[in-house]
Amino acid sequence: MKQNFTVRQGALDGVEAFLSVAEHKSFRKAAADLSVTPSAISQAVRALEARIGAALFIRTTRSVGLTEAGERFLSRARPAFEELVAASEVARDLGARPAGLLRLSVPRGVLSVLLEPLLASFCLAYPEIEVEVAVSEELVDLAAGGFDAGIRFGHLIAADMIAVRVTPPFRVVVVGSQAYVARNGRPTRPDDLRQHQCLRLRRSGGTLAPWSFKDQGRAQEIAVAGPFIASDYPTLLGAAIAGVGLAQVPEPIAAEPLRAGKLVHLLIPFAPTTPGMFLYYPGHRQILPKLRAFVDHVKGHSRAMRQGGAGARKTG
């Protein structure tokens, strides 16, 4: 049987007019209620009856009453129409003020150090917005996953996304524990890592990430080896603190263990700088107030971190 791929037009046409006539038992009062002419109400009801294929009202010169078909239609149409009106009001409310559920996809590696203060201050500033954070190292499809926005390293974000800076650029550094360095010595050049135990990162696509360096302005990648592989930076950092081997991680993640003396910097002259973290979302012409509020909050947070520096890679 051939399927009909056309969208049925006017399925709700005349329903509001019918409900108003049924409530007032009068075409004239219904017209006044809806601010239209009695003729317009009569035409709308006749068109509805023609589509349904049954008379809905018994009309006389003195009164208007419902037929049996009209009574049955009213019993189902009134609650359904009220639900549609309520749904419209809910949607309109979300379009008018910052409220509702804001779903974000973020990487686990930077959540605790870089993002938790940002999210905490936002929740305090906008109590009517519920923030849901889905932690994932993968670059998810925001629309397919039902996310409003995501946060990732700048170089990983697709060009068709709007991107707003969350953090300043930062270095990716090699770190190791004091005990590891005492046992195995301190590398002085990236090539020395071939004689060291290196903790490796498994990317979401399944490949092992090489270690990146900057040598006299030129980018350099080294395929390292070692006894431990993980899919996120905090796990690698924990293994480095335990003395299992050396790790290459974003510097802000390692800042506290470095200050506490649990780790030491290595190969600092060769540390590359990343663009930093960005909030990204699809480039719609209009975004809901909940996301606009978060974008503005991120911009303010970023300005504070950079002490008045420039904020967004694109205008958000």
Q: Worst-scoring range by mean pLDDT, 1-5, 232-236, 276-280?
A: 1-5
Residues 254 and 176 in one domain: yes
Q: DSSP class of residue 165? A: E
Residues 298 and 265 in one domain: no
Q: What is the mean pLDDT of residues 87-110?
A: 76
Residues 270 and 280 in one domain: no
Residues 244 and 150 in one domain: no
80 band by pLDDT with thresholds 50, 70 and 90:
confident
Q: What is the CATH number of the domain that holds 234?
A: 3.40.190.290
Type of residue at 211: W
Residues 55 and 196 in one domain: no
| pLDDT for residue 176 | 97
Three-state secondary structure readout of 112-148 = HHHHHHHHHHHHHHCCCEEEEEEECCCCCCHHHHCCC
Residues 156 and 299 in one domain: yes
| pLDDT for residue 310 | 40
| H or E, element range at 277 | strand 277-282
- Quote the crossing angle between the two packed helices 27-34 and 15-24, to the nearest 10°: 120
| pLDDT for residue 315 | 34
Which phi-psi region, left, alpha or beta, contains residue 14 (left: φ > 0; alpha: ψ -120 to 50)?
left
Rounded to whole angstroms, how far apart are CA atoms 110 and 189?
27
Q: What is the mean pLDDT of residues 285-311?
A: 76
Q: Which tokens hold the place of 65? A: 């009453």
Residues 132 and 281 in one domain: yes
Residue 224 sits in which domain range?
170-274
Q: What is the CATH number of the domain that holds 106?
A: 3.40.190.10
Question: How many domains are there within the chain?
Answer: 3
Identify the residue whose tokens are 């694109």: 314
Residue 7 pLDDT exceeds 50: no
| pLDDT for residue 83 | 81
The verdict on residue 91 lying in a domain is yes
Q: What is the mean pLDDT of residues 293-305?
A: 85
Residues 107 and 90 in one domain: no
| E strand segments, the chain | 57-59, 64-66, 100-106, 129-135, 149-153, 161-165, 170-176, 199-201, 211-215, 218-222, 228-230, 247-250, 264-266, 273-274, 277-282
| pLDDT for residue 10 | 56
- Of 124, 272, 277, 267, give the one whose Cα is nearest residue 192: 267
Q: DSSP class of residue 111? A: I
Q: What is the mean pLDDT of residues 162-171?
A: 89
Q: What is the CATH number of the domain that holds 39?
A: 1.10.10.10
| pLDDT for residue 78 | 87
Q: Which tokens hold the place of 24? A: 């007032």
Identify the residue whose tokens are 């060009």: 159
| pLDDT for residue 309 | 43
The verdict on residue 3 lying in a domain is no
Residues 287 and 267 in one domain: no
- Of 309, 281, 305, 222, give the one whose Cα is nearest residue 104: 281
- Of 162, 178, 156, give the one whose Cα is nearest residue 277: 156
The verdict on residue 4 lying in a domain is no
CB-CB contact of 212 with 272 (8 Å): yes
- Of 77, 80, 79, 38, give the one whose Cα is nearest residue 59: 38
| H or E, element range at 59 | strand 57-59
The verdict on residue 280 lying in a domain is yes
Residue 163 pLDDT exceeds 70: yes
* Residue 220: Cβ-neighbour burial (10 angstroms; 0-12, 13-18, 19+): middle
Residue 306 pLDDT exceeds 70: no
pTM above 0.75, yes or no: no
Rounded to whole angstroms, how far apart are CA atoms 198 and 128?
46
Rounded to whole angstroms, how far apart are CA atoms 35 and 32?
5
Rounded to whole angstroms, how far apart are CA atoms 105 and 151?
6
Q: DSSP class of residue 202? A: B
Residue 284 pLDDT exceeds 80: no
Rounded to whole angstroms, how far apart are CA atoms 240 and 177?
6
